[in-house]
Amino acid sequence: MVQSAILAAALSAFLGLFLTGITQAADTPIKLVVLGDSLSAGHNLPGSAAFPVKLERALRAKGYMVEVANAGVSGDTASGGLARLDWSVPDGTAAVIVELGANDMLRGLDPKVTQRALEEIVRRLTERRIAVLIAGMRALPNLGINFAGGFEPIYPELASKYNALLYPFFLDGVAADAKLNQRDGLHPTEAGVDVIVGGILPKVEELIARVSAASQQRGG
């Protein structure tokens, strides 16, 4: 009888630990990183109004258990993002939104340089089995047709090559709208960030679905 009681107690303790582990795993948030420039970093906005913060809030409001890290650096080019990739995207990251290239475009950098840097970012993230959503950028009209023709296709081509998700234009619905941009005409206001979040949200949900599917295939 004593041995049976001890065995029952041990079994009960084991089941308790097992179930606790399951609960903790279920409650572990999916970690997303926004690797970007000033557009996602929240230039001239309070921290609570930055794109990653608002995106996390919108996702949690829809029931997603996520943490969205702000790895945006004002002034960063695609090459700058590549240089800091390893420490900006730590181990444990499940998905990355790559929002880079706007500064390359504004500086008129050779699109081939931008393409090489972005491709290396996406390739390395893919090798790490991190799901990727590429946020595209468009060229300003004054840069000419030739520049736009070399720059804008970078994003869909990389998405196709690496089977990454694509949101064609990060500033969709915001660009050139004075009411949604700061005085510089380049950076979104808080209301502008809300528009960006609303536009990209379905793609981010698709990104999370990819993370969940991959996790199930790996057995959790």
Q: Which amino acid is at 56?
A: E
User: What six digits make up the tokens of 161?
Assistant: 């090559």
Whether 38 is catalytic: yes
Which among 4, 27, 91, 184 is annotated as catalytic? 184
Among 113, 88, 93, residue whose Cα is nearest residue 101: 113
Which among 38, 40, 79, 88 is annotated as catalytic? 38
Which among 48, 91, 187, 212 is annotated as catalytic? 187
Q: Which of 73-101 are b and which e, b meaning 16 or more Cβ less than 10 Å from the residue's Cβ? A: beebbbbbbbeebeebbeeebbbbbbbbb
Among 157, 166, 170, 164, residue whose Cα is nearest residue 210: 164
Q: Report the distance separating Cα 127 and Cα 114, nearest Å.
A: 20
Active site residues: 38, 184, 187
